[in-house]
Structure 1
Amino acid sequence: MSQETMSRRDALKFGVLGAGAAMLTASQAMAAAPMEKDVKFDEEYDVIVIGSGFAGLAAAAKAAERGLKVLILEKMGRVGGNSVINGGAFAVPMNPDQAAFGIKDSKELFINDALKAGLGINHVEMLETIFARALETFDFTVKCGAKYQTGKKPTWFGGHSVNRTIVTENMSGSAIIQPMAAFVEKLPGCKLLTRAKFDDFVMSNDGTSVLGVTARINYRFDKKLISDDMENTSGEKKVFRAKKGVILASGGFSMDKIYRKMQDPRIAYDQDATNHDGATAGALLKAFQIGALPIHIDWIQQGPWASPDERGFGVAPLLTQQGLFVHGVAVDVRNGKRFMNEMADRKTRADAEYVILREAPKAFPVAIGTYNTFEEQIYAAVEKGLQSGVMKKFDTLDALAANYKIPADALKETIKVYNETALAGKEDQFKKQTLKDLKAAPIDMKGPFYAIRLMPKPHHTMGGLKIDTKARVISGNTGKPIPGLFAAGEVTGGTHGASRLGSYAISDCLVFGMIAGETI
């Protein structure tokens, strides 16, 4: 398939199942998935969970703790999906470390920060639920064995009014996923299968309720295939009954080159993303086929802290979010000037970067700082970034400017004004939040200087299935929950509106994963 065309078959798969999917008639929905009378169940469980990331494992843990027999199906060869390569940043409002450092947070701040980033289209009841249960959820992950950098001042992420983010010990979501997966697998009656791909739902004979799933075990994901659902026939077919219901925790679709481009044509077909290869839309589309209500599907967040000099998520987001963006600057290489608030929400920053890249596609903006701009906990990542080449080190600003073809005098003037404004306690031109009460210049003019080229990458798909605060999937046909179907995490929509704040994802996924496991 070429980058600009697709077969009629794929057009049917991806085109028909867009935002209008929830308006399928009952007969169409019934035809889209096998019914109970059409199948013979191979195995029976109380609960079937699709996906093994934050949401899926939290759901499985809560269901299994209640004595339910749980099956987790993970299509990839390893557990964790995007969660295991996530940066490990967990927004926990009202946490003890905030109190210890005199940081005042509140429900209003937590929600209003999200509304500002989300352009006001967030479903506020979801944010209220996350706020109410985030600390409890954090404690549950600690019970499962997760380790965090606690006892210190929480991290300040872009778009947040205050420091409220707690970071895992290894600055990766793996510090939550790996112990939680081990915790889940030790629970009686809980079974986790990798290379086990969900294919479809099994519906009741009247087409109204989810009774189970069809799947393939010993499945092999092939990223070379355009349509994983239609072209990949690997694996052995199985049919599983779920007596209490199915929890969909299959994640987002930032690596689904066809579906993401249909939602946002500005995304190049071959554009790199921060996600793992299996972040595709197949499970989401199957839920649409049975009438699930879609929300905000075409809002796709781009990560403004990513770099063209490494594939995928890499180490650049850590070095920028907890380093160069906090006290350093991002400059337009064409004129050496700042062009954004480096601590704004993700959409604001990505949009500002795209203004430059649309005018000059190879003029990647550059984030610049000195060693004092990095938080202590990421010093090891600094060395990793230098070794990989995604970050470069220069003894002088002249050398840095020459490397990136930045006008040197203009760059020096930009940094001079930036430092003077910060030390004078004045508000800078972009109203950057982290320039308050500094006792030293944000950028040490003695050097050495560190720099990373910036390029937005598809990172988080805001849209998905509409769920209520009990994690029940809502039908577009009836406006009521679809019996037997629950969902949590990035496969759902509405919570974050137009753009998610950094570190709200772990909160969202874990909280609603737990709720799904409790509700079911």
Structure 2
Amino acid sequence: MSKEAISRREALKIGALGTAGLAMLGATNATAATVLEKNVKFDETYDVIVIGTGFSGLAAAAKASERGLKVLVIEKMGRIGGNSVVNGGGMAVPNNIYQKKYGVKDSGDRFIKDCLKAGLGINHVELLETIVKRANDAFDFSVQCGAQWQDVKPAWFGGHSVPRTLVTANMSGSGIIKPMTKFVEKLPGCKIMRRTKFDDFVMDDKDGVVGVTVRTGYRFNRKLLSDDTENTTGDKKVFRAKKGVILASGGFAADKVFRKLQDPRITADQDATNHSGATAGALLKAFQIGAMPIHIGWIQQGPWASPDERGFGIAPLMTQQGLFKHGMAVDVRNGKRFMNELADRKTRADAEYVILHETADAYPVAIGTYNTFPKQLLPLIDKALHSKVMKKYDTLDAVAAAYKIPAAALKASVKKYNAGIKKGVDEFGKPVKTFKGKGIEAKGPYYCVRLVPKPHHTMGGVKINTKAQVISGNTMKPIAGLYAAGEVTGGTHGASRLGTVAVTDCLTFGMIAGENI
């Protein structure tokens, strides 16, 4: 890809944001729109059109269809689910049935406090309050669709003050998406179209959304840096949406042009946990018709990812509830711990970045022994070893030699960490006493994963209210006929999303959008 080509695409995206800026300064939505109702002929008509087939999109489609509405769901990729399929299947639900079953005390206020701490206090609290009210409804809905969940004590993920995360039986978001897809496809009047790319909104003369232009038979080009105007694959169609459109297109962490515009530290060659179709095209079109941008520059990095595999992979499963919980992470340059392995994602990713910015390729290493892995992760150990993202060593000397860590310092760090667990007080504030940390066994084998932060979740997007209506930056009122849910929205998570709240957010506001449109 030439520098000239990259610059051209950057210019296109800057132009799109410029249009959004004009809308916020007072230009009408119709001024920015490229497609007006009076200028098109509709090929097909539906009550509701949903853009995207992740948690939000499918939940919205289901709820709209259950109301008797004729629903079309469009997906630009060849398979359904987007990032929702490749995540770890964790859903944070305050006051859930398994917390009550296993004696965990929680509250909505505590959940919101945890989210605000991770989000640096810039979260839009009314959206968090809505999640608290509807989180258990969203969980019940997933079960209604056929999702299966582990009947164990809820998991304790970084940044949470209590264990409240429920995990699917297969430890993947596919455990929700696959049954939900079957559920939606069986609903009367509900249709899913793959390889159908949303191109633009169709607007009426009152600045309301009344349809979309799409391309059917679209082929996404994974070699491109972002959504690309030169990709003209597919046949152009125009679809009417009598009740409105629900935007559930997800985030843009795989959009190497747009994410760099927001945060120049994220280079084009930096791997992301997202699927390749997680780009900013649909979001930018919403900005063009006046949707208010919120928190666009806040891009969360996953601190539990590894440079030894592409994308999300298996490392996050082994680190988050295994090596990070009962083991420890060390700076390979000096053999010392450098962070609370159960802090919120931003805190941990920032700590890892300090090391990597000072010394290129000095990837920190997470270390633990067999006892660090909960029973549900034991079947995955061989898979992680076979993929070589996790390595196994008989002694700490072997670990030190493999990663060029000062052996004496590494042994001292292990000893200090174990001593802290015995006392119930950790030097970095890890709540080892509360969750009864196991520590690192005196004898091996030792299991290790190299760590690198990867762009994972984009906090920013369009502003919505508690009814999932998209707010105009021009009028400060809802844009008629436009709703949104999930990662394409902004404000809910503030500066950094608390781990496993995404599934809750997406399902909750997807349901709300489908109920209200």
Q: TM-score, normalised by structure 2?
A: 0.97
Equivalent residue runs for 1:50-129 within 5 Å? 50-129=51-130
The structure-2 alpha-carbon separation of the partners of 1:441 and 1:111, relative to structure 1 and needing over 3 Å to count, comes to closer
The structure-2 alpha-carbon separation of the partners of 1:448 and 1:484, relative to structure 1 and needing over 3 Å to count, comes to same
Equivalent residue, structure 2, for 1:480: 477
**1:226 Cα deviation (Å)?**
3.6
Whichever residue aligns with residue 513 of structure 2, its letter is A
CA distance in 1, matches of 2:497, 2:144: 27
Per-residue displacement from partner, 1:29-49 (whole Å, max 9, x unpaired)? 434321111100000000000
CA distance in 1, matches of 2:139, 2:62: 14
Equivalent residue, structure 1, for 2:499: 502
SS at match of 2:17: coil
The structure-2 alpha-carbon separation of the partners of 1:406 and 1:15, relative to structure 1 and needing over 3 Å to count, comes to farther
SS at match of 1:200: strand
Equivalent residue, structure 2, for 1:176: 176
CA distance in 2, matches of 1:285, 1:96: 40
| 8 Å CA contact retained: 2:30, 2:205 | no
Gaps of 5+ in 2: none
**1:28 Cα deviation (Å)?**
6.9
Equivalent residue, structure 2, for 1:20: 21
Per-residue displacement from partner, 1:353-378 (whole Å, max 9, x unpaired)? 00000000110000000111111111
Equivalent residue, structure 2, for 1:195: 195
The structure-2 alpha-carbon separation of the partners of 1:346 and 1:21, relative to structure 1 and needing over 3 Å to count, comes to farther
| 8 Å CA contact retained: 1:46, 1:70 | yes
| 8 Å CA contact retained: 2:47, 2:241 | yes
Equivalent residue, structure 1, for 2:266: 267
CA distance in 1, matches of 2:184, 2:34: 30
| 8 Å CA contact retained: 1:48, 1:72 | yes
Please say if 1:467 is aligned against 2:459. Answer: no
**1:182 Cα deviation (Å)?**
0.5
The structure-2 alpha-carbon separation of the partners of 1:310 and 1:22, relative to structure 1 and needing over 3 Å to count, comes to farther
Please say if 1:384 is aligned against 2:383. Answer: yes
Equivalent residue runs for 1:240-251 within 5 Å? 240-251=239-250
Equivalent residue runs for 1:393-432 within 5 Å? 393-425=392-424, 427-432=425-430
Per-residue displacement from partner, 1:358-416 (whole Å, max 9, x unpaired)? 00011000000011111111112211110000000001000011000000110011010
Per-residue displacement from partner, 1:162-211 (whole Å, max 9, x unpaired)? 000000000000010000010001000000000000000000024x1000
**1:25 Cα deviation (Å)?**
4.5
Whichever residue aligns with residue 505 of structure 1, its letter is A
Please say if 1:513 is aligned against 2:510. Answer: yes
Please say if 1:433 is aligned against 2:431. Answer: yes
Greater Cα offset, 154-163 or 99-108: 99-108
SS at match of 1:17: helix
The structure-2 alpha-carbon separation of the partners of 1:266 and 1:7, relative to structure 1 and needing over 3 Å to count, comes to closer
| 8 Å CA contact retained: 1:24, 1:289 | no
SS at match of 2:188: coil
Whichever residue aligns with residue 204 of structure 1, its letter is D
Equivalent residue runs for 1:108-187 within 5 Å? 108-150=109-151, 152-187=152-187
The structure-2 alpha-carbon separation of the partners of 1:22 and 1:332, relative to structure 1 and needing over 3 Å to count, comes to farther
Greater Cα offset, 128-137 or 466-475: 128-137
The structure-2 alpha-carbon separation of the partners of 1:295 and 1:429, relative to structure 1 and needing over 3 Å to count, comes to same
| 8 Å CA contact retained: 2:32, 2:290 | no
CA distance in 2, matches of 1:250, 1:437: 37
Whichever residue aligns with residue 444 of structure 1, its letter is E
CA distance in 2, matches of 1:511, 1:410: 47
Equivalent residue runs for 1:194-343 within 5 Å? 194-206=194-206, 208-343=207-342
Gaps of 5+ in 1: none
SS at match of 1:26: coil
The structure-2 alpha-carbon separation of the partners of 1:383 and 1:496, relative to structure 1 and needing over 3 Å to count, comes to same
The structure-2 alpha-carbon separation of the partners of 1:4 and 1:370, relative to structure 1 and needing over 3 Å to count, comes to farther
CA distance in 1, matches of 2:301, 2:3: 20
Aligned-residue sequence identity (percent) comes to 71
SS at match of 1:231: coil
How many residues align? The count is 516
CA distance in 1, matches of 2:212, 2:96: 39
Equivalent residue runs for 1:25-44 within 5 Å? 25-26=26-27, 29-44=30-45
**1:102 Cα deviation (Å)?**
1.5
SS at match of 2:144: helix
Please say if 1:367 is aligned against 2:366. Answer: yes
SS at match of 2:257: helix
**1:21 Cα deviation (Å)?**
5.8
Please say if 1:445 is aligned against 2:442. Answer: yes
**1:270 Cα deviation (Å)?**
1.3
CA distance in 2, matches of 1:441, 1:169: 24
SS at match of 1:115: helix
| 8 Å CA contact retained: 2:420, 2:427 | no
**1:423 Cα deviation (Å)?**
1.0
Equivalent residue, structure 2, for 1:346: 345
Per-residue displacement from partner, 1:195-242 (whole Å, max 9, x unpaired)? 000000000024x10000000111110111344340110001110000
Q: TM-score, normalised by structure 1?
A: 0.97
The structure-2 alpha-carbon separation of the partners of 1:184 and 1:337, relative to structure 1 and needing over 3 Å to count, comes to same
CA distance in 2, matches of 1:453, 1:291: 43
